Structure 1
């Protein structure tokens, strides 16, 4: 019982959460690659096809919804605060 209390203190919960999120993201990426990546072929029938010149399927895989959503967004975290402090015209 003493060893359980050593590891399950409330201070360790954020670490468990961060590691859990990281493992979840890695797992989702692995499943995404296995299921819809045009270069990954799991079944024997698909592996015998060799190298395919299927550019539309590759573009569909690369241009996923998240990439389309953030394409025209600003790369700043807080653009209004950044422009407030960086814009010399404001007084």
Structure 2
């Protein structure tokens, strides 16, 4: 038989990287939901409060930095190249 590290081939490293990024994004979203989501209540005292009408906190949660940053941007990856090839002038 061969060496002990035969199952780790160079072709699988991009797969490991993609899965690692996906797990990282999922973990980040879980931590974000547990810590700052106004609808998630971990402690018993907060759960006993019932339904809260706290619209300001919900607005802060839903309109986070990334959403505010891309709000008025065009939904293009490379706008200058798109304008170069699509503009008739």
State the TM bucket, normalised to the shorter chain.
over 0.9
| Corresponding residue number in structure 1 for 2:67 | 67
**2: CA distance, partners of 1:78 / 1:88:** 18
**1: CA distance, partners of 2:73 / 2:6:** 46
CA deviation map 1:55-83 (0-9, x unaligned): 00000001111111111122101111111
**Structure with more of its chain in helix, by fraction:** 1
Query: RMSD between aligned alpha carbons?
Result: 1.3
Unmatched runs of 5 consecutive residues or more in structure 2: none
| Corresponding residue number in structure 2 for 1:41 | 41
**2: CA distance, partners of 1:3 / 1:15:** 20
Aligned partner of residue 69 in structure 1, secondary structure: helix
**2: CA distance, partners of 1:48 / 1:68:** 33
Task: Point out 4+ residue stretches in structure 1 off by more than 2 angstroms.
Answer: 1-4
TM-score, scaled to structure 1: 0.90
Which has the bigger relative contact order, CA under 8 A and spacing at least 6? 2
Unmatched runs of 5 consecutive residues or more in structure 1: none
| Corresponding residue number in structure 1 for 2:9 | 9
Q: Mean alpha-carbon deviation: is it higher for 69-78 or for 17-26?
A: 69-78
Q: How many residue pairs were aligned?
A: 88
